[in-house]
Amino acid sequence: MLNITQNTVADQLRAHNLPSLNEVESRVSNKVLRRSLGIFFGILLVMMFVPWTQNIRSAGNMTTIHPDQRPQTIHSIIAGRIESWHVKEGDYVNKGDTIIRISEIKDDYFDPKLLERTQEQLTAKEMSVSSYMEKVKALDNQIDALVANGKLKLEQTKNKLKQAHLKVQSDSIKYEAAQTNYQIAQAQYDRMIEMEREGLKSLTDLEKRKLTLQKREAEIIEAENDLLTSKNELINAKVEINSIQAKFRDDISKAESDKYTAMSSMYDAEAVVTKLQNQFMNYTVRAGMYFITAPQDGYITKVIQAGIGETIKEGSAIVSIMPSRYDLAVQLYVKPLDLPLVKKGQHVRIQFDGWPAIVFSGWPNTSYGTYGGTVFAIDNFISDNGMYRVLVAPDTADHPWPDALRVGAGTRNFMLLQDVPIWYELWRQINGFPPDYYVDDMNLIGSDKSDSKEKK
């Protein structure tokens, strides 16, 4: 039956008498099997040369492009006690809407008229500054008056000194004239004595000459006395000038000292005014912090601090809010081995959780239910999970992303690389090689040109 011998018995058998043997020998199943296997391996061989798009697969989640559009918590800047709530979880709030009202718990701010009393202190100190300014102005006027009066007084004394000089000169001339008259009278008296001895003149004439001589001697004494008096007046005038200069110098110095004292007090008062102004503004701003408001439009997602009467510290998180307007993006993580293959502007295919999709990772054009994106940011520092974060924005040339997407939703991502045959991709996967690292030739040419220009 196996036909493995040369001595066949097929001719001796009557197949028509054996229906089962006749049916088995009449089948062509072996030919169909060979043909099917040939067609299968042929198709498989052709498929090995079909282009396959290399890609980097990575899981990710939804985020936003701008940092101010991401979920955030609202904190209390000051410590306080919760008095009332104005929202609940799920509420939509506009920017500036009151979320919670708190009250003061520090005894430094318990005074209900704290702002009014601080304002009164500030006004009093401002008036003190004004008073010191007026005092400085008055002292300036006093100094100006002292300087002007001193100049006039000094000029008057200088004139008196000049008069004393002239008086000394006049008295000196008179004294010289008196001495000359005395010498003449003495000579005449001596001649009169000789003439009286000779009998030429009488005794009466001699006595007249003697009287004249005594008058001339008295005139000398009087002139000398006047000269000494004039010299004393000259010395007194000089002393008076020095005394006036010293007096006005002392008066001006005292006025300037009072002025600088007033200015110092004014500056101290201004410093206190500035401090009170700062304190008043701090109190004013703090009073506005009792009402915690929404920083932007959004939805209240979670209440962290609950209840009435509960105290909270500075910087404590109170509620979390999700902005109502945001531009979605995808953040994904790639291995350090694949990081050199990622560049800005690279195309990414994204499958969102909750959206049905038929994905052929190597044939992105034949996939269904995936959406396009482009890389717009790559971290330069590795993340805590040992991979690098990549941010992907929607591809404006592709279908828009679904409107129902929410921040935090999961994604599966395919970063598209080079087109290679399937047999090469299988060989690469079996050997554990990374995808091909390639750079556009035009970029290389441009970089060479730029390098050559820099070298020049």
Q: What is the arrangement of strands in the sheet containing 80-85, beginning at the earlier edge strand?
A: 291-293, 98-103, 80-85, 311-312
* Whether residues 174 and 156 fall in one domain: yes
Of 274, 302, 322, the residue at which a domain comes to its end is 322
Round to whole Å and give the CA distance between 285 and 273.
18
The answer, yes or no, to whether residue 321 has pLDDT greater than 90, is: yes
Angstrom distances, CA of residue 89 to CA of 85, 270, 301, 345, 392: 11, 50, 5, 39, 31
Q: Which domain holds residue 207?
A: 114-288
The per-residue b/e assignment along 127-160, b for 16 or more CB within 10 angstroms, e otherwise, is ebbeebeebbeebeebbeebeeebeebeeebeeb
Residues in Cβ contact with 399 at an 8 Å cutoff, skipping those fewer than 6 apart = 371, 372
Q: Which residue has the higher pLDDT, 241 or 450?
A: 241
Whether residue 33 is contained in a domain is answered as: no
Torsion of CA 159, 161, 163, 168, to 10 degrees: -170
Q: Could you tell me the CATH number of the domain that includes residue 271? A: 1.10.287.620
32 within a domain of the structure (yes/no): no
Strands annotated E in 24-159 = 51-64, 72-75, 80-85, 92-93, 98-103
Is the pLDDT at 443 greater than 60? The verdict is: no
Q: Are 394 and 372 in contact (CB under 8 A)?
A: yes
| pLDDT tens digit sequence for 384-424 | 889 999 999 998 888 888 888 888 889 888 776 666 676 77
Q: Mapping DSSP to helix (H, G, I), strand (E, B) and coil, where does residue 13 land?
A: coil
Judgement on whether residues 86 and 131 belong to the same structural domain of the protein: no
**Are 122 and 80 members of one domain?**
no
**Partners of residue 98 on adjacent β-strands:** 293
Q: Is 105 inside any structural domain?
A: no
Encode pLDDT of 115-139 as tens digits: 899 899 999 999 999 999 999 999 8
For residues 139 and 364, which has the higher predicted lDDT (pLDDT)?
Answer: 139
The pTM is what? 0.56
CATH number of the domain bearing residue 311:
2.40.50.100
Check whether residue 223 and residue 168 sit in a common domain: yes
DSSP H or E stretch at residue 301 = strand 298-303
- Quick one: average pLDDT of 95-122? 89
Nearest one of 276, 267, 256, 277 to 132, comparing CA atoms: 267
Q: How far apart are CA 167 and CA 173, in angstroms?
A: 10
Pair 126, 271 in one domain: yes
pLDDT band at 111 (very low <50, low <70, confident <90, very high): confident
Res. 445 pLDDT band, cuts 50 70 90:
very low
Q: Is residue 142 part of a domain?
A: yes
265 and 400 fall within a common domain: no
Q: What is the CATH number of the domain that holds 363?
A: 2.40.30.170
Q: Do 137 and 237 have their domain in common?
A: yes
d(CA 257, CA 249): 12
Residue 12 in any domain: the answer is no
Packing angle of the helix pair 203-288, 114-198 (nearest 10 deg): 170
Q: In the predicted model, what is the mean pLDDT of the chain?
A: 81
Asked whether residue 122 falls in the same domain as residue 234, the answer is yes
Query: Is residue 151 assigned to a domain?
Result: yes
Same domain? For 59 and 200 the reply is: no
Residue 26, in any domain of the structure: no
Q: Which residues pair with 320 in a beta bridge?
A: 73, 302
Domain membership of residue 384 (yes or no) is: yes
- Specify the number of domains making up the chain: 3
| Closest to 346 measured CA to CA, from 399, 419, 415, 396 | 415
Same domain? For 270 and 379 the reply is no
